[in-house]
Structure 1
Amino acid sequence: MVGFNNDDYIRNILGHLQKIDYIKPDEIPNIDLYMDQVTTFMDEHLKSSKRYEEDKLLTKTMINNYTKNNLLPPPVKKKYSKEHMLLLIFIYYFKNILSISDIQNMFEPLTEKFYNNKEVNLETIYNEVFELEKEQIDVLIKDVIKKFSKSKETFADPKFDKDREFLNTFSFICMLSFDVYVKKTMIERLIDQSVAEMNGKNKNKKAEPKKTE
Structure 2
Amino acid sequence: MTENEKEMMNSIFAKIAELDYIKPDEIPNIALYMDQVTTFMEDNLASTKRHDDDKILTKTMINNYAKNRLLPPPEKKRYSREHLLMLIFIYYFKNILSISDIQTLLGPITEKYFKSVTEKDMTYIYQEVFSMEQSQIRYLEKDLMRRFKSAGEIFEDADPEDKEFLHQFSFICLLSFDVYMKKMIIENMIDHMNSSKDTDSPKKDK
Name the CA distance, whole Å, in 2 between partners of 1:79 and 1:46. 21
Name the CA distance, whole Å, in 1 between partners of 2:159 and 2:103. 47
The match for 1:152 is: 152
Q: Deviations over 1:130-160 (max 9, x none)?
A: 0011011111111001011111222111x42
Name the CA distance, whole Å, in 1 between partners of 2:7 and 2:161. 21
Name the CA distance, whole Å, in 2 between partners of 1:64 and 1:49. 22
Name the CA distance, whole Å, in 1 between partners of 2:165 and 2:9. 15
Q: CA deviation at 1:203?
A: 2.3
Q: Deviations over 1:155-183 (max 9, x none)?
A: 111x4212111111110000001111111
Name the CA distance, whole Å, in 1 between partners of 2:195 and 2:115. 26
**TM-score relative to the length of structure 2:** 0.94
Report the 3-state secondary structure (helix = DSSP H, G, I; strand = E; otherwise coil) of the residue aligned with 1:3: helix
**TM-score relative to the length of structure 1:** 0.91
The match for 2:140 is: 140
Name the CA distance, whole Å, in 2 between partners of 1:63 and 1:9. 35
Flag the structure with more relative contact order, 1 or 2, with Cα contacts below 8 A and sequence separation at least 6.
Answer: 1
Runs of 4+ in 1 over 2 A off after TM superposition: none
Unaligned runs of 5+ in 2: none
Q: Deviations over 1:66-105 (max 9, x none)?
A: 0001000000000000000000000100000111110011
Q: Which has the larger radius of gyration?
A: 1
Report the 3-state secondary structure (helix = DSSP H, G, I; strand = E; otherwise coil) of the residue aligned with 2:95: coil
What is the 5 A alignment of 1:33-44?
33-44=32-43
What is the 5 A alignment of 1:67-78?
67-78=66-77
What is the 5 A alignment of 1:89-100?
89-100=88-99
Count of residue pairs brought into register by the alignment? 202
- Percent identity between the two aligned chains: 54
Name the CA distance, whole Å, in 1 between partners of 2:80 and 2:8. 42
Name the CA distance, whole Å, in 2 between partners of 1:173 and 1:58. 28
The match for 1:14 is: 13
Unaligned runs of 5+ in 1: 208-213
| Counterpart residue identity of residue 41, structure 1 | F
Q: Deviations over 1:4-31 (max 9, x none)?
A: 2xx2322221121122110111101000
Q: Does 2:166 correspond to 1:162?
A: no
The match for 1:211 is: none
Name the CA distance, whole Å, in 1 between partners of 2:161 and 2:7. 21
What is the 5 A alignment of 1:43-192?
43-119=42-118, 120-157=120-157, 159-192=158-191
Name the CA distance, whole Å, in 2 between partners of 1:184 and 1:71. 20
